[in-house]
Structure formats: structure tokens, C-alpha cells
């Protein structure tokens, strides 16, 4: 089931959809952060699948500050110069402070929703959303019980003062990160740095590299990999079953 929400934030009203299983709830809450293509049918379909595993899943329009925006065709978004510029403009406009502030409102909305049970919330994110998922986990403490990132980029960059790995000592969630082979946005060096930071901070975590391309989990991405997506669903199911129940 789906219902539309309008979530009040410090910068306006964020449209979102809440996806829930059939039957009587409440269920643990999850926030699904989209990739650079933003909240769209593909992401909502993934939220439906996740809801079917027993969760109330919120998909926010992270670009709401720009008003209504034309959805991207991921098959051409990066090869068409004009579309690439439009997409990167939206991505570049979203700062860590914005996502942290917005997420406080998302968490409040989930806490107020009758479909959502009490307790910590899970997060998952893809590409850009994977980085957001980690940033959120490092800024909202015990309100986040499990944080996942799939083919997320720039998660552990040594010379980036906004790199999520610097927040490791503030993370209380269980963390799962899956990168892709030959992905310049999340290299083996980043994985090593993230492993070190999470281990030193005592954060329970699992880091993996899938034999797939960047974007493997998202069906409308040209690099979509069904086997890798199935593996990602299994990982999420295990993560949330142990950390949110």
C-alpha cells in the first residue's frame, strides 16, 4: 500500500510516499534515499518490495527545494550533456546540512505515522543516497538503528571534511555497505579507510564489494544487475531483522 505525505521541513514542504505491507501494522520504519535520479517510479517500486518484507518505507523527494522537476531517464541522463548538467545541478545543491535537517523532519513524520512502530528507524540509500544514509547515521544517533549504503560514493575520502567516515564515532546504528567493482566513486582505498574508521569506533558493520557495476541495485539504471539486486535485498532483510526488531 502507498499513501502520499507532505512533510514540513525547515525549508518548506517535502513530498514523500509511505509504502506499507498489506494487513495490520504497525511496522518498523525505514527511509529510502534515492540515487541521483531522485524519487521516481523505480525507487517507489523498490520501496514496495521492501515494504513487502515487513517495513513502513518512506521515500522522500530530496530535491523538493526546486519545486516540481522533470524526472530523469537514467538511460540517457549521463550521456546527454544538458540532462547531465541538470542532474548534477540538483545533486550539487543538496548539502549535508540539508539532508541532516530534512531527516529530522522525516523521523518525526515516521514517529507520528500510525503505520510505524516505536523504535529506531532503518535507512538505505543508493549512489548519492548511500552517502546520505551514512551521513544521517552519523548525525541522528540512536534514532537510526540500521544504516545501509549500496554503490554509494565518496563515503570515506581522506581529504574531504564532509566525508561520512569522519562521523564513525557518532554512529550507533549497525552499518552495511556494498560497493561495486571498478567504481571510482567508492574505491578499495575508501573501503579500507571506512573499515578502519568503523572498527576503531566500535561500530558493528559489514563491508562488501559486489561483482557488479555501479548502480547495480536500481532497475532503471543501465548497469542494473538482477543477481546483485537479489543479493542486496537479502542483505537488507538480514540487517533490518537483526537491528530493527
**24 pLDDT more than 90:** no
Helix (H, G, I), strand (E, B) or coil at 171: coil
Contact yes or no for 181/213 (Cβ under 8 A) = yes
Contact yes or no for 127/152 (Cβ under 8 A) = yes
List, for residues 112-124, the tens digit of each pLDDT value.
Answer: 999 999 999 999 9
Residue 245: pLDDT band by 50, 70, 90 thresholds?
confident
pLDDT of residue 182: 86
* Phi and psi torsions of 98, nearest 5°: -65, -45
Q: How many CB atoms lie within 10 A of CB 33?
A: 30
Helix (H, G, I), strand (E, B) or coil at 142: helix
List, for residues 46-74, the tens digit of each pLDDT value.
Answer: 999 999 999 999 999 999 999 999 999 99
Of the CA atoms within 13 Å of residue 160, those in its CB half-sphere come to: 14
Helix (H, G, I), strand (E, B) or coil at 196: helix
List, for residues 149-195, the tens digit of each pLDDT value.
Answer: 999 999 999 999 999 999 999 999 999 999 999 899 999 999 999 99
pTM of the full predicted structure?
Answer: 0.97
The CATH fold assigned to 2-243 is: Rossmann fold (3.40.50)
Average pLDDT over residues 70-87: 92
Residue 234: pLDDT band by 50, 70, 90 thresholds?
very high
Contact yes or no for 228/198 (Cβ under 8 A) = no
pLDDT of residue 23: 87
Domain positions in the chain are: 2-243
Amino acid at each position: 500500500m502507498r499513501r502520499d505525505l507532505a512533510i514540513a521541513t525547515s525549508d518548506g514542504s517535502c513530498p514523500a510516499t509511505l509504502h506499507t505491507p498489506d494487513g495490520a501494522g504497525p511496522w518498523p520504519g525505514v527511509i529510502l534515499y534515492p540515487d541521483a535520479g531522485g524519487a521516481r517510479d523505480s525507487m517507489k517500486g523498490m520501496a514496495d518490495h521492501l515494504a513487502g518484507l515487513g517495513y513502513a518505507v518512506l521515500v522522500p523527494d530530496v530535491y523538493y527545494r526546486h519545486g516540481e522537476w522533470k524526472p530523469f531517464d537514467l538511460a540517457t541522463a549521463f550521456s546527454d550533456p544538458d540532462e547531465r548538467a541538470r542532474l548534477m545541478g540538483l545533486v550539487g545543491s543538496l548539502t549535508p546540512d540539508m539532508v541532516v535537517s530534512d531527516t529530522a523532519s522525516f523521523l518525526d513524520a515516521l514517529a507520528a505515522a500510525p503505520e510505524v512502530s516505536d523504535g529506531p528507524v532503518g535507512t538505505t540509500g543508493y549512489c548519492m543516497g548511500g552517502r546520505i544514509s551514512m551521513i544521517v547515521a552519523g548525525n541522528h544517533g540512536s534514532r537510526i538503528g540500521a544504516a545501509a549504503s549500496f554503490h554509494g560514493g565518496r563515503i570515506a575520502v581522506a581529504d574531504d571534511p564532509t566525508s561520512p567516515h569522519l562521523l564513525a564515532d557518532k554512529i550507533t546504528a549497525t552499518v552495511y555497505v556494498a560497493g561495486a567493482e571498478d567504481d571510482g566513486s567508492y574505491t578499495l582505498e575508501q573501503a579500507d579507510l571506512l573499515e578502519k574508521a568503523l572498527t576503531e569506533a566500535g561500530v558493528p558493520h559489514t563491508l562488501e564489494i559486489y561483482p557488479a557495476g555501479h548502480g547495480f541495485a536500481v532497475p532503471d539504471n543501465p548497469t542494473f544487475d538482477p543477481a546483485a539486486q537479489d543479493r542486496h535485498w537479502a542483505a537488507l532483510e538480514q540487517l533490518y531483522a537483526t537491528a530493527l526488531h
